Amino acid sequence: MSAPVKKNDRLSVYIEDLTHDGNGVAKVDGYPLFIQGALPNETAEIHVMKTLKNYGFAKVVDIIKPSSDRVVAPCDYFKQCGGCQLQHLSYEGQLKWKENMVRNVMQRIGKINAPVLPVKGMEEPWHYRNKAQIPFSVNEEGQAIAGFYKTKTHSIVDMDRCLIQTGEADAILAGLKKELTAIGIRPYNEHTHEGMLRHVVIRKARATGEVMVVLVTKKKKFPQKEAAVAVIQRLVPNVTSIMQNVNNEKTNVIFGDDTINLWGKDIIIDTIGDVRFEISARSFYQVNPEQTEVLYKQALEYADLQGDERVIDAYCGIGTISLFLAQRAKAVMGVEIVPQAIEDAKRNAVLNSFSNTYFEAGPAEEVIPRWYKEGKEADVLVVDPPRKGCDEALLKTILEQQPKRVVYVSCNPATLARDLRILEDGGYQTQEIQPVDMFPHSTHCEAVAWLTLVE
């Protein structure tokens, strides 16, 4: 059966929803069209760009009836850059859409009927990212460019500022590329594998104001390092750490294995709530510290700790959630597959004088069953898995060991819904789901689910 529309057709459609990457969705005789720039509840004239068997793509020619939530995107680069997808939707509209998205995903994928609460958003949803990873390259004229990638490409949008990054990141964006030629540093060209500077990573601690700048270079030998340090100190006066990371691979991965201190400290320190964290050049640390505190406080509330519970934190990372839980638990045991993260977690426990924590490196689905066999049972189990969700073996372990409460922190509502269905089929009841907006102006939404064992 052929599609009811063909390439280059122009037609008027009603926009029903948004996709996970921010495109509007309209249906023509049941055939979905994904439309860049369109918002739900709009009527638009569109131009069909491409048709496949089961769906097609189109672009907006004219908005006939705009959404009441449509706004003018304040960023000059919004239509080119792939960093944000929803700046043309008011922030209130974004929160409303994310709440409905989480609720619909729960019901459609998991048949989960637990209450989905209104999204916890930000009072000021701009300049919230504490980490910027800025690729540097050259244009066709050989001039230095820096910015962020166009959607689904490795083409850099050359820019001088970003409305969701810090002022320090803007200073690097606008200033460093102008200084590179003067100090003799060539930006990296990923097509020819020539040049020196690949990325600049800027990390800022919200609580202390400390700033780390990491220069990711193709080679370890860096004759211009003193000049580079001087330029960064001038552009970012509050910098406390300047590092070099070496990556000589033909890869899209940002960091290599070798990190060198060029000036200042090796780490910066930030605080979430009452817990302090050391952040190194390659540490995983949530990029929105204000909302991270909201997220972790929600997890702590759902854990409902009275002081005598043993807690297991699967996928513990550098111990961020573990140390939040340790403030109220008798004991917290964290497991993470990345050994360096476990070393960071141990160091952060010492930094905060916690003596009731234990961290171990390894796959959660292997380590946790062994802990139970050793008598290290948990009253509460917290999981914060990657986007792919929990490993099937870990879900099986939860169902076998039956902790009284499970708190599931998720960065992907679809895999959350899938995993909740498995846990509910195994004897748990989802009591409540609280979405948290960690990434304003993007389509991403985190959520915390609270489950209890059915007696």
Catalytic annotation, residues: 411
Q: Do the beta carbons of residue 367 and residue 335 sit within 8 Å?
A: yes
CA dihedral 133, 144, 186, 219 (to 10 degrees): 20
Displacement of CA 405 from its chain's centroid (Å): 26
DSSP secondary structure letters along 410-422: ES-HHHHHHHHHH
For residues 201 and 212, what is the distance between their CA atoms, to the nearest angstrom?
Answer: 8
Helix residue spans in 208-314 (DSSP H):
225-235, 289-303
Helix (H) or strand (E) holding 2: none
CB 239 within 8 A of CB 211: yes
| C-alpha pair distances (Å), 426 with each of 69, 395, 396 | 41, 9, 9
Q: How far apart are CA 373 and CA 196, in angstroms?
A: 52
Task: Name the token pair of 9.
Answer: 């057709």
Tokens of 300: 């702590």
Q: State the Cα–Cα distance between residues 55 and 50, nearest whole angstrom.
A: 9
User: Which amino acid belongs to residue 100?
Assistant: N
Give the contacts of 61 (CB within 8 A, at least 6 positions apart).
10, 44, 45, 46, 47
The first and second tokens of residue 126, run together, are 């701009």
CA angle 373, 379, 380 (to 5 degrees): 110
